[in-house]
Structure 1
Amino acid sequence: MRDKVLIVEDQFIEANDLQLMLEKAGYQVTGIARSVQQALELIGQEKPSLVLLDIYLKGKLTGIDLAKQLREENIAFVYLSANSNQDVLAEAKATQPYGFLVKPFREKDVLAALEIARYRHEHSLESNFRREAALQKQLAGLNTRSVSWQDTIMKIGMALQPYVSFDFLRGEFKDGDPTRYTRGFLRIGFNEYQSMGVSEFLVMTGLSLPDYEVLLRSDHADPIAAVYAGRAFEELCSRRPLKKVVAGYFGMASCLSLPLYLSGGGTFYLSFYSRSADTYTGEHLTLLNRLQQSLAETVGGALAIKEATKGLETLKEVPLASGGNSTGISGFEGIVGTSHRLLNVFDSITQVAPLDTSVLILGESGTGKERVAECLHRLSPRKMKPFIKVNCAALPASLIESELFGHEKGAFTGATDKRIGKFEQASGGTILLDEIGEMPIELQVKWLRVLQEKEIERIGGSAPIKVDVRVIAATNKDLEKEVAEGRFRLDLYYRLNVFPIQLPPLRERKDDIPALADHFVRYYSRKAGKNIAGISAGVLQELQAYRWPGNVRELEHIIERSVLLTKGDTIRDVILPDQKESKHAASAPRVKTILENERDHILEVLKQCDGKIWGAGGAAELLNVPPTTLQSKMKKLGIRKEHMI
C-alpha cells in the first residue's frame, strides 16, 4: 500500500474520479472532504501523508486557509485549481504548496504531481532535520567559545542568519535594568555586523536617554513568537514607538519577535528585522519555536558571563555551514555588493551549497546567474570535481540530446566516433544548465528521468549509465508562465523548484552601484594600463538614475568603455543607451537619496581632514562616530582614498 491521501474537493464527480484513479494506482484514500471543517475532522481521525486540495470550497474557509494548517502540521499538499485570478494564485503560492494541478486534469498528471510532492516533502523533512541538528550543535557550544554575553547573542544571530534572515537583530532582557542587557546588531555585509549598545543606539538615532526610557516602558513584548509584515508591521510600529524608531532609522519593513523564558527567571527577547516585507513566514516561527529551549539555555548561560564588550564595533564571523560541515566560507569573491537583497542570496548559497539538492537560479539577463552557480560548486564538497556549463539556448534542438547525453559511434548519420556527453563529463561534480527555459519539451522528459533515476542513456546506446551529478539550472524566463502555456513540463518544474534562488535586478539594489562601479573601474584600469582614481559625483548620479535593463553585465560594459575613453584620472562622462532621456533626468530637479547625501557629506569631511580617518582632528572625530563605523560606511558607499583629497 502506498501513501495515504485525503481529497478535499466539493465537486462530487471530480472527487470520485480522483479517488478511483488513486486507488487504482495503489494509494489509500482516507476520505473525501467537501469543506475545511470536514477536512480537519478527517485529519484528526487519520493523518494523511498527502492532501489534494481544491482552492474553492463550500463554507467561509477556502483551501488556502486549510493549507496554512497543513503547513503547521507538516502535511504535504497539492492544489487542485480551475483557472484562478492572479491575486488568488499569488495567495495560494504564498502557502508554499508542493504542486498545482489545473482542472481538468489527466490521470498521469495527478500521479506525477503526487510523486513530485512526496519527493519534495521527504527532501524538505530531511533538510529540516539536518539544519536543526546543525543549529543545535552550534548553539550548544557557543558559551564555551564566547567572551561576553554580547558575543554570544551575535553568534546566535549569525548561526540563524541562513535560516532566519535579518538586517537588524535586537536582543534585550526585559526584567531588571533595560540598559544593561540590550544589544543591537546591524548587518553591513556578508558575515559582517555592527554591534551597538544603548549609548551607541542613542547617538545614531538622536534620542536622549530619558526619551529612550519612556519608549522602552511603552514597548510591550509578545508573550509568544510572532511575525509582523505589511499592515500588521505598520500597526505594530504605531503601537510601539521604539519599534517605529528602529523601522524608520534603519529602513525596516517586517519583524519577527521571539521571547526566551530563562530558567533563572526573566525573559530575553530577540527581535529580527528585515528591510523586505515578505521575509518571515510561519515556517520561521515553527523552526524558532523548536529551537526555543536551546536558545533560552544558551542565552541564560551567556548572561552569566561578566565580561562586556564596550562601544560600537564591527564584528566578523564565519559560521558553520548547514549539515555541520565547515566549508570555510568567508565571502563571495567576484560578487560585489552588500544590499539586503543580495545578502539574502548569499545566505541561500551558504545554506544549500554543501548539499546535493538541485538548485534553480532565477533572474533577469545580466544579474549574475552563472557567478552564483560557480559559487555553489566552489563551496560544495564537489569543488575538486568538474564544473560543466551548458547553454541550452546556444545549442540547436537537434544537438542538445547528443550534447547532454552523448552518442555511440554510428548512432546517426555523421556520428563517426563515440561522444561522451556533458552529464558523463560532469560525473562526481556539477552541471549548470543555463537558459533551461529554452530546452525543447520533448527532451525535458529525458532530463526529468535523469533527475529521478540518476542515470542517462547515450543515443544509440543499449544500457543506461549511472551518473553522480549535482544539477543547477538557470533561466531568465518565468517558468510558471511557460508551464501554463505548455512550453515547460509541470513535473519537471516542481522537481527543479525544490530550492529556488531569485537574483534581484540591479534596479532593486542601486545601493550597490557605487561599489560595483568602483570595482569595475579598478579592474579595467589595471587591464588597460591606466591610473583612473574613480568616478565623479555627477556620473555616479547618472548611473544611479538609470534603470539598467541589462543589469550588472550592462554596467560592467559601460564602465569598461568609459575607462577606455577617459583621458584623465577621473571618469567625468558616461554614455548610457538612452542618453537623451538620462541627460534630461539628470538635469531635472531630483531629490538625492539618503545614501547619496551621506556619501557627499562623508567625502566633504574627509577632504577637510586631508583623508585622515583616525585620531584627533580625523573624520571619525568630526562625524562623532567610531573609526570602524566610518570605514564600514566608506566601504559600503564605494569611497576610496583617491576620492578623499
Structure 2
Amino acid sequence: MFQQSSTADLGNVPLAVARVIQHLSRLVPGKMDRNAFFQILSRQLRLLFNYDRFCINLYDAEREFLNLFTAADGTVVESLSNTRIAQNTVAGMAIASRKPVVINDLASQDVGDTPLPLASVGLNATIALPLILNREVIGTLHVSFVRQPDNVVEILNFLLELSPVLTTFLFAVLAEERSSANGNRDPAPPDASGSAPLVDRLLETQDMARVMSVARKVAKLHIPVLIIGETGTGKSMLARWLHRSSPRRAANFVKVNCPSLAPTLFESEMFGYAKGAFTGAYAKRIGRIEMAQSGTLFLDEIGELSPDMQSKLLQVMEENSFERVGEARSIGVDIRVLSATNIDLEKALLEGRLRRDLFYRLASVILRLPPLRQRKNDIPILVEYFISQFSRQWDLRPPRLSRGVLGDLCNHDWPGNIRELRNVISRLLLHSLDGAVTESFVRDALHEWEPSAETEAPAPASPEAVPAVEGRLLHVGAGSCSGPALPTLEENERAHILEALRLTGGRLSGPRGAAALLGVPRSTLQHRLRKLGITP
C-alpha cells in the first residue's frame, strides 16, 4: 500500500510544478540517467497525489511503436509488451489527438480485439498525455488508478502544466544516452523491466561463471541462441542481457510468449496484416517479426508452438523474409532470434513435438541455465532485491531477516526456482506487517505445498554459516541439501497452482487473482491449467 499523502499542493499548480522541476534539475550537473530521472519523477508525483501505476512510453513515429521508457512504478502489467504498436492503445489515442485522454472505466473501453491490459489487473481509470517537443510527439505519460480520484481535474491540470518542461528533461536524458553511444562507450542502460542491476549482479556469481563464459562470447555475434532450463530460472532475463550486450542493442527487443499464441492468430500476430485483409482489419498492423527489425526476436517457450507454427517460423528464418497477411509483397527481415524452453529437448525431438530442422536453426549455441538449487550464491542477492522491490512497491519498511531465516531460504531446494522465491518473499513481507519474520513462519511458508506434512525439512543453516554485511545480507557459499526424495516438478506445480486458486477463490486475473499471486501472465496460467487438466 502507498502511504496516504496530502494533495493540498495541487491547489497551487505552479508551486507544485516548480517543486518537481527543482528535484529534476539535480540531474543536470551529473549524468542524465533514465532510471534516476524516472525514480525522482515518480517519487515527487507520489508526494502530490496517490496513483496505482505510473509510466512513460517513448514513441517511434516512423514505425508507430511504443517503447517502455523504464519499469513502471506501481502495479505490474505483465501482459503489456515492452515494445508494441501504438494502434489500439490508450497511448495511441493521446498521440493521434495530441490531447490528454481521461478514462474512468477502462473495462468498458473498446479500442481493439481484446480487453485493455490495465483493466485485466484491476486498474479502472487512467490519464494519458502526449509529450510534444518541436511539434513532434516523442512519448506519452500515464497515471492510472484502481478508482478515479475525486481530484482528477486538479491532477490533470498539474500534469498539463508539467508536461512541457518534463518533455525537455526527457529529451535531455535521451540525448545523453545517444552521446554516450556515439562516444563508443557502452551505456548499458537498464532494460525495460528495470532489472539490469539485478542481472549484472546475478551473472557475475561463481555459480553462473560457466554459462557466462560462453554467453559473453556469443553476445557479440549474430547467431541464434537457445536458452534451456527449468521454469523460473531467469531465461528471459538472460535473453535481455544478450540483447543489451549485442551490436543490436539500439534496436528493439521483442518478446513473444509462444504458449499464448493461438494457431489461428499466429500469422497475424507474427507477420502482421494489411488493411482490408479480413473483416475487422481496418488498418495495417505491424507484426512481431517486423517490430524486431534490426533487433532481437525472443521466442519464449518455443517448445509450445504447434508443428504448423514451427514450419512457418522456420520458413522465415531460412528465407529472411515474410509476407503480411493480405499482401503478396515479400518483406526482407534482419533479426537475431533468441529462444528459450523448459522442455526435455531429446524427448521432444524423438516424439516430433519439436521439428529437428527448426531446432538446428535455433540452437547454433545452447546456454543451459542451472536451477536455483545449484546457485546458492544467488539466493541472498535475489532475497535482497525482492525485499527492496516489494518494499518500494507497497511502501513498507524493509524487514531485517535473521541469519537463521536467511539460512532456511538458502537451504531450500526451490523447485519453482526464482519465481517461487519471489512469491515466498512477497508473503514474508506481508507477514512482517503483523510481526517479525520468524524461522518457524519461513519454514511453514517453504514447505506448505509439500505432499506430506511428515516429510522432514532440510536442516537450517547455522547463524555462523550466513554472515551479515552492514546489518543486511551477504553471499552464501554454495552447498547441497540432503533429504527425502522430492515430488516431481509437475506434482509441485499442480499443488502450487491449486493452492493459489484456493487462496484467491478461483479468480485468475486482477491484482488479487492467482496469476498475480504466482507472478505469471494470465495467459501463461491458463495454458498451464489446460496442460495439467485443472479446472478453476
- TM-score, reference length from structure 2: 0.48
Q: Larger relative contact order (C-alpha < 8 A, sep ≥ 6)? A: 2
Q: Choose 1 or 2 for highest CA Rg.
A: 1
